[in-house]
Chains A and B, each alone.
Chain A
Amino acid sequence: MEELLEILNDINPDVDYDKEDNLIDGRVYDSLSIITLITRICDTFDIEIGPKWMRNENFNSAKAMWAMIQAIEEDE
């Protein structure tokens, strides 16, 4: 989780990731930031985030992203 928070803070440090649960629906992250975010998550965790995971609810909060990363690791 710490590594994920590091990535998130690097892309947008002005967000409280413990509380924020509307990162995508609230347009805190736009489509460019999402790509940057996904690229860095893939590199850091050595996973593939395929299009099937590209749903707003998977990226709306740090917690949801972490759950998705674990699900992908399990799936792979």
Chain B
Amino acid sequence: MSITSFTFVAFVFAALILYYLVPKRFQWIILLLASLVFYARYSEKCLLFVLVTAVTVWGAARVMQGLSDGRKAYLKAHKAEMSKEEKSAYKKKIRKQRKMVMLAALLLNLGILCVVKYFHFALAQINALISLTGGEGIADTYRLLVPLGISFYTFQAVGYLVDVYWENCKAEKNFFRMLLFVSFFPQVTQGPISDYEQLSGELFAEHSLSYDNYARGFQRMLWGFMKKMVLANLVAPYVQDVFANYSTYTGISAFIGALFYSVQIYADFSGYMDIMCGLCEMFGIHLTENFERPYFSKSIAEYWRRWHISLGAWFKRYIYFPIAMSNWSRQLAWKSRERFGQGISDVLPATIALVVVWLCTGLWHGASWGYVAWGLVNGLFIILSLWLEHIYAAWKKALRINESAWLWRAFQTVRTFILVTFIKVLPEVGTLSDGFGLWRQIFTEHTLPKTVDELLPALAANGTANFVVIMIMIVLLFVTSLMQRKMPIRDYFARVPLPGRLIIMACGFAVIIIFGVPAMASGGGFLYAQF
């Protein structure tokens, strides 16, 4: 069921009616049924994968909770007769048992993710190695099912499992509630990746029908549909053409293609988030925000705090800190302090953790060397900014740069946007060498196009009206992002008198029907759904 289809709109409408008709304590059951129907419409077989994740994570969490509660009760009952050493040994024994349970569930779920997502990639690498030795390799005739949103729901479930292990949250007793947490339809395909405490508070609370929630949710959905169906889909043919034939493009046209890709992926992904956050608002549920005007960031590190926020937070919490704070990492830092001084010792644990995080981030996005390179290049920029922080500070001081001046801040923003654009296209053009090929084309092909048709051939082929709409949408996106520095755009919108709001929304709807619906064929599905 495509999110941009009329079937989806009808499905949501039916779910909303039922949601507010049933007694409030049963509202979450409607959400669960809607989620199962939504997923089963995609693939009944793949629903089994979601069920396996929900069952194993729920069961493992319950066992860990049982061990933890048992430990507390035992220690309380034997408080007086146990020595400190005995208590410590007992705690250690229970911790070990809990760890084994957590690891078993973790390995099973991450194992499923790895097999369905990386099997073909791993086999291709094995075959490449075999061919080096003159062997024939293994025929890749296997066709594995890749469940929709597996990277998203597995990470969300794993986060919950680890949180229960760390005793940061209590295990959910009701299996069906856990199933809803894993399969909640607005977020199962593209996130955001939520933590259990936050999302369960929203999912299982009782919600009343509210005009404000409906109006604000509808406005946000409309804006999301405009971003995806109009902007992302209209830009898509140009981007696809540049990526497919980059060697025939002039450097400037190829560069514009890369910039348009940045526009496309932002409109696509943030458009999806707007649709789903708006939809959830109609149910009275607030999802975690995944974007905070990322293209206004002043460094790559800041960009990653503002783009796909929930994934960054997940990696930080479950990979970055555990690695940076591990015993061996701290011992390494301690040894390096003796040898290289405090400065190196301070950044070493973070550097090791960042390399692992960015390698995993690359692989999470896709099973290809392009994504591995993409992750490592992002990590490299962040690590360099850590190591060279003092040198940058000295340069800025020597050049007497006023860091609060708008010109300097604008330079930082534009620089970061261009850097991010170059990194983004690396895995998207085709193979990794195609990604570098596009870079080469941009930097080495200096022919200046003489006409607009030569500069933007695919856009010219798609009509002037489409081009004008793309430009208006880009300006609109830029202006609304600027306005959001002070307050959310919907708060500005709420100040417009009702007739004005209705006219604006009608215009938005008309633009979607006139330009967005025909562009659906060229734009296709959501880019992030493939991850």
Contact = CB atoms under 8 A, between A and B. Distances in A.
Interface of A: 31-32, 34-36, 38-39, 42-43, 49-52, 54-55, 76
B350 A35 contact: yes
Nearest to A38: B325
Contact of A43 (B166, B334, B346): B334
Contact of B168 (A35, A38, A55): A55
B220 to A, nearest CB: 25
B350 A52 contact: no
At the interface, is chain A mostly helix, strand, loop or mixed?
helix
B300 to A, nearest CB: 14
B321 A39 contact: no
Nearest to A52: B166
Contacts of B347: 32
Contacts of A55: 168
A9 B167 CA distance: 31
Contacts, number: 43
Contact of A39 (B166, B349, B386): B349
B325 A32 contact: no
Interface of B: 88, 162, 166-168, 316-318, 320-322, 324-325, 330, 333-334, 346-347, 349-350, 353, 386
B333 A32 contact: no
B350 A31 contact: yes
Contacts of B318: 51
Nearest to B334: A43
Nearest to A37: B346
A51 B102 CA distance: 15
Contact of A51 (B325, B333, B386): B325
A52 B346 contact: no
Contacts of A42: 330
B321 A51 contact: yes
A50 B347 CA distance: 19
Interface centre among B162, B166, B318, B325 (most CB of A within 10 A): B325
B322 A35 contact: no
30 contacts: A31-B316, A31-B321, A31-B350, A32-B346, A32-B347, A32-B350, A32-B386, A34-B321, A35-B321, A35-B346, A35-B349, A35-B350, A36-B346, A38-B325, A39-B325, A39-B330, A39-B346, A42-B330, A43-B334, A49-B325, A50-B166, A51-B166, A51-B317, A51-B321, A51-B325, A52-B166, A54-B317, A54-B321, A55-B168, A76-B88
